[in-house]
A and B are shown apart, each in its own frame.
Chain A
Amino acid sequence: DSGVTQTPKHLITATGQRVTLRCSPRSGDLSVYWYQQSLDQGLQFLIQYYNGEERAKGNILERFSAQQFPDLHSELNLSSLELGDSALYFCASSGTGGWDGYTFGSGTRLTVV
């Protein structure tokens, strides 16, 4: 167990729907990152939050949004889903005691049908 918790593990939904993915970072970590991993694109950075504030943004679609709450958990909202949004969505967290890389959660596998 990495200490980064993602729920749900699997999600199957229809095109046009909206889903919310949840992430709880490792205890004490202030930064949360969201990544999308698809077969043809590899791991793509979506967005980073640090202590509730958006810190960095990648190629995140306008249909996607995220936030980090006061208890530091984060949610990634995906709306108007398309078949191409099917992927593994990873959350990662990092600490404040010096940069030593991320700790990844086990991911949410999203299948859009």
Chain B
Amino acid sequence: EDKVVQSPLSLVVHEGDTVTLNCSYEVTNFRSLLWYKQEKKAPTFLFMLTSSGIEKKSGRLSSILDKKELFSILNITATQTGDSAVYLCAVEYVAAGNKLTFGGGTRVLVKP
């Protein structure tokens, strides 16, 4: 069964700190890996990664994929209290449809 594992489960940091979130996967026929941010309700899309070694950036957030070692990292620099959320990693594999297999998420709490 396809598996996506995120670590750590949770972390607490102070504003201005940098956080690194990990996502490893055991997915055959990999197609893409996606990161989402979930605050109160709906997950919101952050990044989609398909190629190994190419960093995607959006402001203080960045992510990179290693298809050889089957993992991805999400970095958040200069954290702010608004970054407090659950960060979800999901993997899509080649199959009928665009089903995503989600990891359990990392809960990030940024304290002032």
Interfacial residues, chain A to chain B (CB-CB below 8 A): 2, 4, 31, 33, 42-45, 48, 50, 55-56, 58, 88, 90, 94, 99-107
Contacts and interface: CB of A to CB of B under 8 A. Distances in A.
A90 B95 contact: no
A104 B44 contact: yes
Interface string B25-39: 000000010101000
Contact of B42 (A33, A99, A100, A105): A105
Interface of B: 32, 34, 36, 41-45, 48, 88, 90, 92, 95-105
A43 B88 contact: yes
Given A42-B103, A88-B41, 18 more contacts: A31-B97, A43-B90, A44-B102, A45-B100, A45-B101, A48-B98, A55-B96, A55-B97, A56-B95, A58-B99, A99-B32, A99-B48, A99-B92, A99-B98, A101-B45, A102-B98, A104-B36, A106-B41
Nearest to B46: A101
A105 B43 CA distance: 8
B97 A48 contact: yes
Contacts of B105: 42
A42 B45 CA distance: 17
13 contacts: A4-B42, A44-B102, A45-B99, A50-B97, A55-B96, A90-B42, A99-B92, A101-B45, A102-B98, A104-B36, A104-B42, A104-B44, A106-B42
B34 A101 contact: yes
Contact of A56 (B32, B41, B96, B102): B96
A66 B34 CA distance: 25
